[in-house]
């Protein structure tokens, strides 16, 4: 393993496969760097950071359709001076039967040093990490992990909750079982000292009671009571149609958020959503647009978080 | 040390192994003796003619030849992964003198001529090849095969392994229809509707990894269905690769009621837990990793840990080990499932289920013995005499018996790596690990089929 020295912190891995690999100190330093790069970018003061990845090529391999994560990574890479190459793998060589490893080895041989990988299969980034010489940045693998989303959520929450998550309770509502966001958030937020409450239809929270520092709430009110912040997850409409829940109407009636229900949480508790939202299903359009919503800040923080990770891994 | 393979068409062997520990589960005998084999038969120690090779057996153990009830030899149709020749050499290397070939080949072994063809190819192989015929035509789960013809051609059991008989009605018909043959129906107990889309055993590890979880009920509902049908019809049922304590309990209760049921478990379901999918590489009887840290990028999501049924949780694995120890599990069967690298070194969810087992099964069992989970006698009974009896084969070290045995060094250790395996495939998560127990000599049907530095084959 190559140790990556980054001034006041060191990542011991050459990949970012999940946030579970980051110690609390690594995590906090990464969040600090993400916030700093975000602010410098917003104020046009990136300075030397704009050359940090000069000569470095980052391949974007999104095997699943994605807009915001791909664009966020692409911008982050360019802001740091890297060349970003979109492999457009959805619907190209994959259809011709080329294996994931072959595609990644091809990318490596063209001179890319890093791959940002989004894949429908849990564990795909681990396979690439051990089968190629690329540095692998997991941009979401199946229902397993989405580490940069967890970093941007942690940056957002930390700032919204007064600078620390110690002793804070975060409610995660919705299809937790199929959510890579929820899993990575649980790793990151619990490591930062938060407690997690999950709530959703039984099939969507099954098994999470056995996760350390996670509690499963029987209903929305119980999930929100005492929560310092609320994370709602996207309902995959095709999954809802598959019969795991009675109907979207029933989901919204039991688990959908509006201003009145949000009052069950602590006063002023903010609401987050990884996007894209199904307005009127997970939460009302009003709530998504209200000052309680941190959804816009999550997107802005996403670029900063990805810049931080890219600069740490490519160092 | 020179490694040599022989085959069943060779001349019967004659040799003496002096001062070895002879352990025979068929009569419970266990002691230091000279093993004398003359013209392929075990002889009494006093009658050794001149000129017979005499080998030093000190430190070695002699036991009856191992018998595998569940082997995928892949021929015909999958010769890139294994052949009858390579698979039986792997068997001999692992101490097995008999393998029972599963019929899920391409084409499947659902006609007497195909069964006879595999048996004929096995005549010059390095282990006896017995054939399990398909229970339904084309393994399609619709109509039964011609079981009496298949039995006459040499089939020793019937199975649609890879899947259970899909409907209770057809399973009932099969158990009834096999009656005149006296042969068992071997069931892969798994409900397809519960197992569909799953990738590993349900539980905390699956929750953490985000892989769809296989519920233990997927096994139990078919086990209970089949036990009810076996009880009602009087048919002979064998449940293969059990992976849950609940299913084992159901089998125990059925045995107590007199149902004609037997069962086996694989070495990997005994030794590897579902945590192996997350990268754990300690056996179930060792203290597990607490999984609090990061997953190991080198071992997590290894497609070679995908098996069907999936690796059990540790509690179930330890319950299955107790079942082997107390004899309520009749046999350890490998479910040796060779696959080429392009089918296992892929995304976990794309990996073909199954791992090789013939060359590592005995060593895994010996590791369990070393850990105090099993006695050596219980291990040998589960690997040799009991499975052999289920397919009507004799095993034992009594004078007069045909020599069918394994000689092994329990103190030696070996490293599992591609170059150490003779199977055409190397799909096992054990690669890189060091295991106890080295087979030095395998004698099948009176012929030396494997010799590791003993000097009988040159």
Closest residue to B207, CB basis, from A129, A145, A208? A208
Chain B residues with CB-CB distance to A121 below 8 A: 347-350
Nearest CA in chain A to B349: A121
Nearest to A129 by CA among A147, A115, A143: A115
Return the pLDDT at A7: 43
Strand order in the sheet with B185-188: B66-71, B96-101, B128-133, B155-159, B185-188, B237-240, B261-265, B331-332
Band the pLDDT of A91: cuts 50, 70, 90: low
- pLDDT tops 60 at residue A50: yes
Give me the DSSP letters along B80-130. Answer: TT--HHHHHHHHHHTTEEEEEE-S-SSS-S-SHHHHHHHHHHHTTSSSEEE
Distance CA B348, CA B328 (A): 33
Q: Is A119 on the interface with B (CB under 8 A)?
A: yes
- CA torsion sign, B244 to B246 to B247 to B251? positive
Residues A97 and A79 in one domain: yes
Nearest-Cα distance to chain B for A99, in Å, is: 8
ipTM of the complex: 0.94
CB contact under 8 A, A144 and B210: yes
DSSP A63: S
Catalytic site includes residue B68: no
Residues A151 and A128 in one domain: no
Give the domain range for residue A31. Answer: 4-145+300-313
Nearest-Cα distance to chain A for B212, in Å, is: 9
- Encode pLDDT of B344-389 as tens digits: 999 999 999 999 999 999 999 999 999 999 999 999 999 999 999 9
Chain A residues with CB-CB distance to B207 below 8 A: 177, 207-208, 210-211
Nearest to B332 by CA among B358, B371, B306: B358
Q: Is A105 on the interface with B (CB under 8 A)?
A: no
- Phi, then psi, of A104 in degrees rounded to 5: -70, -35
Nearest to A228 by CA among A187, A179, A194: A194
Return the pLDDT at A139: 98
Residues A163 and A242 in one domain: yes
**Chain A contact probe: residue of B194, B199, B205, B207 with most A CBs at under 10 A:** B207
Nearest to B326 by CA among B290, B280, B373, B277: B373
- Phi, then psi, of B390 in degrees rounded to 5: -65, -25
- Encode pLDDT of A246-277 as tens digits: 889 999 999 999 999 999 999 999 999 999 99
Residues A246 and A263 in one domain: yes
Residues A169 and A132 in one domain: no
Tell me: cis bond preceding B132? Omega within 30 of 0 counts: no
Residues A307 and A277 in one domain: no
**Chain A contact probe: residue of B213, B297, B298 with most A CBs at under 10 A:** B297
- Phi, then psi, of A231 in degrees rounded to 5: -105, 120
Closest residue to B210, CB basis, from A21, A142, A212? A142
Structure-block tokens of residue B201 = 């055993």
Map tokens 């496969």 to a residue: A17
- Encode pLDDT of B380-438 as tens digits: 999 999 999 999 999 999 999 999 999 999 999 999 999 999 999 999 999 999 999 99
CB contact under 8 A, A121 and B208: no
Residue pair B227/B247 in contact (Cβ under 8 Å)? The answer is no
Map tokens 């129906």 to a residue: B185
Domains of chain A: total: 2
- Encode pLDDT of B278-328 as tens digits: 999 999 999 988 777 889 999 999 999 999 999 999 999 999 999 999 999
DSSP A181: H
Closest residue to A129, CB basis, from B207, B297, B345? B297
Structure-block tokens of residue A223 = 């999930």
Q: Cβ contacts of residue A246 below 8 Å, gap of 6+?
A: none
Distance CA B45, CA B351 (A): 52
Q: Is A143 on the interface with B (CB under 8 A)?
A: yes
Closest residue to A122, CB basis, from B294, B297, B349? B349
Nearest to B403 by CA among B371, B448, B454: B448
Cβ neighbour number for residue B232 with a 10 Å cutoff: 12
- Encode pLDDT of B82-111 as tens digits: 999 999 999 999 999 999 999 999 999 999
Nearest CA in chain B to A101: B346
Say which residue, A243 or A288, is predicted with more confidence: A288
Q: What is the pTM of this model?
A: 0.95
Residue pair A210/A198 in contact (Cβ under 8 Å)? The answer is no
CATH number of the domain that residue A165 is part of: 3.40.50.1370
Convert B257-306 into a string of H (helix), E (strand) and C (coil).
HCCCEEEEECHHHHHCCHHHHHCCCCCCCCCCCCCCCCCCCCCCCCHHHC
Nearest-Cα distance to chain A for B368, in Å, is: 29
Length of chain B: 458
Residue pair B129/B99 in contact (Cβ under 8 Å)? The answer is yes
Return the pLDDT at B255: 98
Return the pLDDT at B44: 87
- Encode pLDDT of A120-139 as tens digits: 999 999 999 999 999 999 99
Residues A59 and A102 in one domain: yes
Residues A103 and A186 in one domain: no
Return the pLDDT at A233: 97
Out of B110, B161, B335, B451, the active site residue is B335
Return the pLDDT at B448: 98
Domains, chain B, ordered by start: 64-395 (3.20.20.140)
Distance CA B125, CA B144 (A): 30
Q: How many CB pairs lie under 8 A apart between chains A and B?
A: 83
B83-112 per-residue burial string, b: 16 or more CB within 10 A, e: under 16:
bbbbbbbbbbbbbbbbbbbbbbbeebbbbb
Return the pLDDT at A138: 98
Q: Is A244 on the interface with B (CB under 8 A)?
A: no
Q: Is A190 on the interface with B (CB under 8 A)?
A: no
Residues A308 and A259 in one domain: no
Question: Is residue A239 classed as helix, strand or coil in its secondary structure?
Answer: helix
Residues A140 and A200 in one domain: no
Return the pLDDT at B1: 67
Nearest-Cα distance to chain A for B358, in Å, is: 27
CB contact under 8 A, B209 and A210: no
Nearest-Cα distance to chain B for A39, in Å, is: 30
Residues A136 and A156 in one domain: no
Structure-block tokens of residue A2 = 């190559």
- CA torsion sign, B407 to B412 to B413 to B416? negative
Question: Is residue B227 classed as helix, strand or coil in its secondary structure?
Answer: helix
Percent composition of chain B: helix, strand, coil (DSSP 3-state, to 5): 30, 25, 45
Question: What is the Cα Rg of chain B in Å?
Answer: 21
DSSP A210: G
Mean pLDDT of A32-49: 95
Residues A32 and A154 in one domain: no
The kind and range of the H/E element at B192 are helix B192-195
């Amino acid at each position: 393993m190559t140790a990556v020295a980054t001034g006041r912190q060191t990542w011991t891995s050459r990949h970012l496969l999940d946030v579970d690999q980051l110690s609390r100190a690594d995590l906090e330093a990464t969040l600090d760097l993400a916030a700093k790069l975000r602010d410098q970018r917003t104020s046009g003061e990136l300075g030397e950071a704009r050359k940090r990845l000069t000569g470095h090529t980052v391949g974007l391999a999104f095997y699943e359709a994605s807009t915001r994560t791909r664009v966020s990574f692409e911008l982050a890479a360019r802001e740091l001076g890297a060349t970003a190459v979109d492999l457009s793998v959805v619907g190209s060589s994959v259809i011709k039967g080329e294996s994931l490893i072959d595609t990644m080895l091809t990318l490596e041989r063209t001179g890319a040093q890093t791959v940002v990988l989004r894949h429908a299969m849990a564990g795909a980034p681990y396979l690439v990490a051990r089968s190629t010489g690329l540095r692998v940045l997991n941009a979401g693998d199946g229902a397993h992990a989405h580490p940069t989303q967890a970093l941007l959520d942690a940056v957002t929450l930390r700032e919204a909750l007064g600078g620390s998550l110690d002793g804070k309770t975060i409610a995660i509502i919705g299809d937790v079982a199929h959510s890579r966001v929820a899993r990575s958030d649980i790793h990151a937020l619990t490591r930062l000292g938060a407690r997690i409450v999950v709530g959703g239809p039984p099939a969507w929270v099954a098994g999470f009671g056995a996760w350390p520092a996670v509690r499963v709430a029987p209903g929305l009110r119980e999930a929100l009571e005492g929560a310092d912040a609320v994370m709602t997850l996207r309902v995959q409409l095709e999954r809802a149609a598959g019969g795991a829940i009675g109907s979207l109407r029933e989901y919204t009636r039991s688990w959908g958020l509006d201003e009145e229900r949000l009052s069950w949480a602590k006063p002023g508790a903010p609401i987050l959503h990884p996007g894209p939202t199904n307005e009127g299903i997970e939460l009302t359009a009003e709530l998504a647009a209200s000052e309680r919503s941190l959804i816009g800040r999550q997107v802005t923080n996403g670029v900063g978080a990805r810049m931080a990770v890219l600069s740490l891994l490519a160092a | 040390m020179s490694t040599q393979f022989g085959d069943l068409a060779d001349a019967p062997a004659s040799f003496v192994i002096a001062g070895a520990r002879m352990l025979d589960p068929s009569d419970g005998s266990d002691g230091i003796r000279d093993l004398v084999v003359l013209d392929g038969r075990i002889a009494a120690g006093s009658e050794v003619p001149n000129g017979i090779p005499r080998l030093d057996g000190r430190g070695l153990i002699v036991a009856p030849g191992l018998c595998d009830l569940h082997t995928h030899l892949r021929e015909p149709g999958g010769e890139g992964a294994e052949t009858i020749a390579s698979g039986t050499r792997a068997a001999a290397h692992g101490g097995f003198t008999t393998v029972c070939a599963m019929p899920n080949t391409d084409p499947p072994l659902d006609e007497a001529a195909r069964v006879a063809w595999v048996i004929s190819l096995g005549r010059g192989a390095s282990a006896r090849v017995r054939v399990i015929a398909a229970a339904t035509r084309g393994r399609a789960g619709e109509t039964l095969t011609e079981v009496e013809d298949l039995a006459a051609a040499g089939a020793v059991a019937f199975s649609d392994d890879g899947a259970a008989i899909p409907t209770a009605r057809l399973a009932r018909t099969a158990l009834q229809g096999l009656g005149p043959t006296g042969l068992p129906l071997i069931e892969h107990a798994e409900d397809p509707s519960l197992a569909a889309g799953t990738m590993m055993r349900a539980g905390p590890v699956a929750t953490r990894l985000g892989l769809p979880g296989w519920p233990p009920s997927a096994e139990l509902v078919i086990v209970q269905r089949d036990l009810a049908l076996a009880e009602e019809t009087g048919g002979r049922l064998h449940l293969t690769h059990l992976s849950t304590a609940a299913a084992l309990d159901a089998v125990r209760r059925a045995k107590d009621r007199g149902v004609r049921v037997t069962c086996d478990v694989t070495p990997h379901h005994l030794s590897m837990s579902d945590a192996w999918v997350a990268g754990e590489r300690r056996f179930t009887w060792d203290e597990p990793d607490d999984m609090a840290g990061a997953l190991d990028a080198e071992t997590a999501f290894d497609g070679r840990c995908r098996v069907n049924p999936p690796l059990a949780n540790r509690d179930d694995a330890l319950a299955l080990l107790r079942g082997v120890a107390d004899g309520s599990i009749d046999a350890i069967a490998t479910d040796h499932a060779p696959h080429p690298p392009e089918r296992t070194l892929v995304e976990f969810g794309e990996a073909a289920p199954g791992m090789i087992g013939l060359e590592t099964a005995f060593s895994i069992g010996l590791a369990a013995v070393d850990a105090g989970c099993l006695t050596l006698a219980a291990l040998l009974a589960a690997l040799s005499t009991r499975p052999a009896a289920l397919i009507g084969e004799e095993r034992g070290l009594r004078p007069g018996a045909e020599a069918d045995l394994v000689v092994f060094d329990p103190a030696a250790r070996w490293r599992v790596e591609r170059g150490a395996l003779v199977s055409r495939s190397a799909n096992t998560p054990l690669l890189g690990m060091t295991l106890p127990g080295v087979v030095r000599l395998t004698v099948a049907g009176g012929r030396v089929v494997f010799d590791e530095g003993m000097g009988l084959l040159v």
